[in-house]
Homo-oligomer: A and B are copies of this chain.
């Protein structure tokens, strides 16, 4: 039992580290760490299962600071509880270039940071993914190896963002009872009081999506503790609404938006030292308090040891599978399985849509990789994401591997991030490519964190047809390619689709998106080639001696490029075709390879049923681009291609005209 006095001193350690670090940086957000210090202290000192010496212990409780601007809360906790890679020097270099202690918590900067937060609402949805992963893996490996809680601290901003609705509705539906969310209910946002913009009864709101709800005084350790204990036994996820004072302890500014996002100033900090009876200098934690915190950091060592023992006693196949899965390593058979599949396709590959080709490739992959975790944002029959191995998950039964995410693209993408961050599973899920816009913030965060999450983006162009411009991607290829560290694949046929899947799966530290067609495509890769050509980003698909014309194309437009090249060659104009399934991987190839693929034909043409942006890398700004220059339209797909001038004839004509000019 921790006395009230000891609790207060432990919580105040967080408060002073936070206000002093913000002051030193002359930048940052003291409001949340001061306000939520009591909640965090109760959680970390009495309930959270974690071991600072083994930060990646697979059965640790996960803690997500969804209100990421309060990053000093988590940095303080990591330092105080004894994570070895979070030193007092790291605290002192808060928000400095190259420091671990970035303005917002950055996954990978230091142990114990489970996810990158800051963009509001993301953390809650990440946590839903973590809780899904826990429940799924407990089902698969048993509760002796997976049995932990996922805790979140969120603020009013997280709960105003729409993504929070998607996340909590799904969590309530799935009865994720090991998810416990603390709402730092401090009534304050940047513009002023929450009452300026919102009147939501959050308790009623969470009850409407079937959460367990508890109200506590967020500065009363006993109430907080009782709430956590009650939440731990709930059959539903729990919201603990913690009424707090933002900036608690800053006597003249607390409870106002002045403490939210600016340093308190020397005078106010001095006043806080007096008010809270804290006589240590900045960054000095009294020995008794540091000892208490370090003890808290040791609290789960026996549990960790017991888990190690259970792990050691597990049968060896289970143990090695568990370890492989948490290491994120693929089973050895993937390459040969894809190779076998490619050999099977050779000679007479089917003329199918790449969404169907994706299903076929997934049929191979899912049969081999038990860690793939499929799903769709209510477009299962359209995305072709559910293969024969994929049984649907239900609230009562997590033995399946397929999640019906509902019409919740944003929540889905953020939860997929959480699943990968948790470890043990490789999530993929489908949506219409146009709705990548709905989940773009989460895709970006996957790229920033460097985690393997795979988005199946079907209906990737005006090939959508009758659904019209609201559903036809035009700028989404360019917009996704713009995100650093994201691989965007656009395969042209069944062989390329399999290769792109293979390449995406092998990228442990990058997310991928596969842009796939609704419409059937003629196969372009007819012969078997052992090498994964798509993994090189672009490659010569049809060669020509002394080529005068190079045609670069991706996905559904490769068949047009191939036909055009044939016509041009028939006309005596030597033309070659380069298939470009992935810009990002191509840019990483050695220069000599890139030069040879781009080639030196005087006429360069790029063809993609999307905007030009990005293609100048291949064709220069004097090259010919055949694609979209506006939004799409509603009509049969073939008519749209003709209407927008993306045809074999247009390519041939452009090449011939340009040949006249360069001759």
What is A's interface to B at a CB cutoff of 8 Å?
25, 27-28, 68-69, 95-99, 102-104, 106, 116-121, 156-157, 160-166, 169-170, 172-173, 189-192, 196-202, 204-205, 207-210, 376, 378-382, 392, 394-395, 404-411, 434-435, 437-438, 440-441, 444-445, 447-448, 465-471, 474-475, 478-479, 481-485, 611, 613-614, 616-617, 620-622, 629-631, 633-636, 639-640, 643
A406 to B468 CA separation, bound complex (whole angstroms): 32
Residues of B near A95 (CB, < 8 A) are 466, 468, 634-635
A95 to B120 CA separation, bound complex (whole angstroms): 39
A246 to B314 CA separation, bound complex (whole angstroms): 51
Contact B437 A438 (CB under 8 A): no
Residues of B near A468 (CB, < 8 A) are 95, 102-104, 106, 118
Contact A376 B191 (CB under 8 A): yes
Query: In the complex, given contacts A164-B165, A190-B382, A474-B484, what are 7 additional A-B residue pairs having Cβ atoms less than 8 angstroms apart?
Result: A103-B471, A104-B471, A170-B197, A190-B381, A197-B407, A202-B208, A437-B444
Contact A633 B199 (CB under 8 A): no
Residues of B near A202 (CB, < 8 A) are 208
Residues of B near A444 (CB, < 8 A) are 437, 475
Nearest to A125 among chain B residues (CB) is B162
Sample (7) of A-B pairs whose CB atoms are under 8 Å apart: A104-B471, A106-B634, A118-B467, A119-B470, A199-B210, A616-B617, A620-B622
Contact A441 B445 (CB under 8 A): no
Report if A200-B196 is in contact (Cβ < 8 Å); known contacts: A157-B407, A448-B470: no
Residues of B near A474 (CB, < 8 A) are 484
- The distance from the CB of A399 to the nearest CB of chain B, in whole angstroms, is 16
Which of B119, B162, B380 is close to A166, meaning CB atoms less than 8 Å apart?
Answer: B162
Residue in A102, A392, A611 whose Cβ sees the most chain B Cβ within 10 Å = A102
Residues of B near A404 (CB, < 8 A) are 191-192, 196-197
- The distance from the CB of A393 to the nearest CB of chain B, in whole angstroms, is 10
A412 to B187 CA separation, bound complex (whole angstroms): 21
Residues of B near A99 (CB, < 8 A) are 634-635
Nearest to A630 among chain B residues (CB) is B484
Residues of B near A116 (CB, < 8 A) are 470
- The distance from the CB of A535 to the nearest CB of chain B, in whole angstroms, is 22
Residues of B near A172 (CB, < 8 A) are 199-200
Which of B161, B190, B467, B483 is close to A104, meaning CB atoms less than 8 Å apart?
Answer: B467
- The distance from the CB of A398 to the nearest CB of chain B, in whole angstroms, is 15
Q: Across chains A and B, which 6 residue pairs bring their CB atoms closest together, nearest first?
A: A162-B162, A97-B635, A197-B406, A165-B165, A118-B470, A102-B634
A501 to B602 CA separation, bound complex (whole angstroms): 43
Contact B156 A407 (CB under 8 A): yes
Contact B482 A482 (CB under 8 A): yes
Residues of B near A394 (CB, < 8 A) are 196
Contact A27 B631 (CB under 8 A): no
Nearest to A122 among chain B residues (CB) is B470
Contact B190 A378 (CB under 8 A): yes
